[in-house]
Amino acid sequence: MAAQFPPCPGVAGGAIDPVVYAISFWQDIPLPKPGPFIAPGWAITGKYAYLETHGERQHTYTRETPFGPLVLTATGRYSVDWGDGTQTGPYDFEGGPWPDGEITHTYIDVGIYDVVVTEQWSATWRLGGESGTLSGLQTEGRIEDLRVEQVQAVVSTGR
């Protein structure tokens, strides 16, 4: 008796379906995750907190297949939940450090906040003369327990 095997992914009636193959690959690739940081590890009320995303906005994957190379280029956009009820984004660029970073937030209240950076991914692909776009995946990076303090200047008269 001959062994029975399930059909190969992306194969319908003996022919490859590039869309199915690309979707299967897209759902299994390890997308880059942001590694957010706010220097120096805490923030001050009333002053900009500069979010460094430490991520990757674009990554190209290539997989050799019996039907030629599958090339998939993933592109990410960042959104930020600052933990105080404020959400910003999406951003099409990396967040950088003070003084030139462009992803900033000003906290009003002293407290401890969890900052969540979500990267929404989309991709373009091509395989065997076919191409298309994909979306719907995300990765996440977190800053747990960001301390926000208030600073008060004290003037000494020298007495």
Residue 69 lies in a domain: yes
Strand 130-149 with 42-44, pairing: parallel
Predicted local confidence at residue 59, as pLDDT: 96
Burial 76-94 (b: 16+ CB within 10 A, else e): bbbbbbbbbeeeebebeeb
Residue 144 lies in a domain: yes
Question: Do residues 97 and 52 lie in contact, with contact meaning Cβ atoms separated by under 8 Å?
Answer: yes
CA distance 106 to 20: 45
Predicted local confidence at residue 15, as pLDDT: 60
Predicted local confidence at residue 141, as pLDDT: 98
* Predicted TM-score (pTM) of this structure: 0.83
Predicted local confidence at residue 21, as pLDDT: 86
> Which residue ranges in the chain fall short of pLDDT 50?
1-3, 5, 10
Residue 5 lies in a domain: no
Structural domain that includes position 115: 11-149
Q: Which residue has the tokens 């009333």?
A: 46
Predicted local confidence at residue 5, as pLDDT: 41
Number of structural domains in the chain: 1
Predicted local confidence at residue 159, as pLDDT: 65
Residue 29 lies in a domain: yes
Residue 116 lies in a domain: yes
Residue 49 lies in a domain: yes
CA 157 vs CA 10, 52, 154: distances in Å: 78, 39, 10
Predicted local confidence at residue 2, as pLDDT: 44
CATH number at residue 41: 2.60.40.10
